[in-house]
Amino acid sequence: MKLIQEMRLEQRLSPQLIQSLKLLQLPTLELELVLKQELETNPLLEEIPTAEVSPEQAMREVRKDSADQFDEQQWRELLTDASDSGWRGFRPDSSREFDELPQPAEVGLQEHLLGQLHLTELKEEQLPIGEEIIGSIDEDGYLTASLEDIAAATGCSVEEAGEVLAVIQTFDPTGVGTRDLGECLAVQLREMGLENTIFMAIVEEHLEDLQHHRYPAIAKALDIYESDVQEAVEELARLNPKPAAGVFGTAARTIIPDLIVEKVDGEYMVLFNDSSLPRLRISNLYKEILAKDSEANKETRDYVLDKLNGARWLMRSIQQRRSTMLKVMEYIVKAQYEFLEHGLLHLRPMKLQEVADAIDMHVSTISRVTNGKYVQTPQGVSELKYFFGGRIENREGRDVSTKAIKERIERLVADEDGLKPLSDQKIAEALQQEGFEIARRTVAKYRDKIGILPARYRRQY
């Protein structure tokens, strides 16, 4: 048996440092939930409903009262310390209101359909069939089980299952309970009174040609003009291919900016939108209890000291989070001055490493700060990650963000002649005339990423 000893260096993160990193990457809304949970679990923390204070004052107070650890020797000092400083949120302009409004209770698709089912004139014995069908409808509104499966599960005939399904297909939202795209569109057309029309003919007989933009083939088969097909396609595009998607069970995401960039006296300033966060301080209640009984047992003192260390570290981590976010955003504002002044076409390409080097922080810290956090600027609300991306050099030797190139492609397509849409080569030539050295294949890649169809599919008749 051979024993081998090995010596190596290993870096371990302390629990406090792990907590700081987690707080750093949280957006303001999620941080608010964490702080409220800490208020419930740590009896030494309390919320102070006092007037707002300036960031400088809050920073001074936190630094004064943010020692890493407190031991037995500092116990007397703690009991005699009358200060109640802590971290306080700050709203630079109290007239703003970015706080998230209470959301109404969400109603799921199944619940919505079951409510309609019990208002129909179906027989009592047919209700279980309807419930089985509704239970097999997915989040987009499509029926995922066959009528044979429904019949086998409920003990009815396939014909009776079909009859109940036909009733459910009249429910809101229109098109729910259908089994494929063609049936979904056909149900919506019937609801609109367009059953015996060219629209229904295209959906029922030429859906594949429609999906592949083979408009001349449709025109030939139906003996109509291609311009008629084009008009019909524009109307069909108003129908919903996923009648229940994003409507039930998922509330629309509310974006609350974590930071605000405003121009004040000719200079851009970075402000925090964190007034919704609880204002924290160390509770004096436990100081008073222990001051009355200076001979408190060791277990009690250890418990309070542990909670005290946790509370102080939490407040310090919050302040570090604010300081780090401020440094990162101030550099972005300085680097993106032209964008703030003139818009997307002046967005300067940036790398995370550039910011890390400029403010002397690790690139992983910059990544945590920019991920999932939003800033309101004169150009709208954007995720901090938005300012980072690829670049292209123009003829003047200046780097231009690929986001600006994509924006320019979108504008060119929006302004094109529908009868003669711009090919990728024509778009590339137009960009080259503007000073962007870009190849046709690059245009095709960007066009595809922003969801624009090739020229042959954009042609109107």
Query: Which pLDDT value is given to residue 176?
Result: 92
Question: 109-236 belongs to which CATH class?
Answer: mainly alpha
Query: Which pLDDT value is given to residue 1?
Result: 55
Cα(142)–Cα(244) distance, rounded to whole angstroms? Answer: 8
- Pick 81 or 181 by higher pLDDT: 181
Annotate 162-191 with DSSP letters as a single string: HHHHHHHTTSSSTTTTBSSHHHHHHHHHHH
Query: Which pLDDT value is given to residue 449?
Result: 78
- Pick 290 or 156 by higher pLDDT: 156
Per-residue pLDDT band for 261 (boundaries 50, 70, 90) equals very high
Give me the chain's average pLDDT, please: 78
Percentage of the chain beyond pLDDT 70 is 76
Query: Which pLDDT value is given to residue 296?
Result: 60
- Pick 78 or 447 by higher pLDDT: 447
Bridge-partner residues for 163, per DSSP? none
Domain 392-458 CATH assignment equals 3.40.190.290 = no
Cα(209)–Cα(306) distance, rounded to whole angstroms? Answer: 70
pLDDT digits (tens, 9 = 90+) for 34-51: 888 888 888 888 887 755
- Pick 322 or 8 by higher pLDDT: 322
Q: Is the pLDDT of residue 85 over 90?
A: no
Query: Which pLDDT value is given to residue 457?
Result: 75
Least reliable range by pLDDT among 52-56, 91-95, 402-406, 415-419: 91-95
What is the residue extent of each domain of the chain?
19-80+256-377, 109-236, 392-458
Q: Is the pLDDT of residue 160 over 90?
A: yes
- Pick 122 or 295 by higher pLDDT: 122
- Pick 409 or 56 by higher pLDDT: 409
CB 261 within 8 A of CB 270: yes
Query: Which pLDDT value is given to residue 369?
Result: 86
- Establish whether domains 109-236 and 392-458 are of one fold: yes
Most confident of 87-96, 242-251, 338-347, 383-392: 338-347
pLDDT, mean of residues 351-369:
87
Percentage of the chain beyond pLDDT 90 is 16
pLDDT digits (tens, 9 = 90+) for 381-415: 888 888 876 655 555 555 566 777 888 888 888 88
Query: Which pLDDT value is given to residue 119?
Result: 83
Q: Is the pLDDT of residue 26 over 60?
A: yes
Query: Which pLDDT value is given to residue 70?
Result: 46
- Pick 249 or 100 by higher pLDDT: 249
Query: Which pLDDT value is given to residue 287?
Result: 66
Query: Which pLDDT value is given to residue 268?
Result: 92
**Residue 88, SS3 per DSSP:** coil
The order of strands in the sheet holding 380-383 is: 267-272, 259-264, 374-377, 380-383
Per-residue pLDDT band for 309 (boundaries 50, 70, 90) equals confident
- The set of residues, in sequence order, having a beta carbon less than 8 Å from that of 15 and lying 6+ positions away, is none
Chain mean position to CA 112: 26
CB atoms within 10 A of CB 409: 23
Q: Is the pLDDT of residue 76 over 50?
A: no
| Alpha-helical regions (H) of 49-206 | 55-64, 75-80, 109-117, 127-135, 147-154, 158-168, 181-191, 198-205
Query: Which pLDDT value is given to residue 392?
Result: 58
Q: Is the pLDDT of residue 66 over 50?
A: no
Most confident of 71-80, 243-252, 297-306, 313-322: 313-322
Query: Which pLDDT value is given to residue 291?
Result: 63
pLDDT digits (tens, 9 = 90+) for 104-120: 445 678 888 988 888 88
pLDDT digits (tens, 9 = 90+) for 332-348: 999 889 889 988 777 88
**Residue 142, SS3 per DSSP:** strand
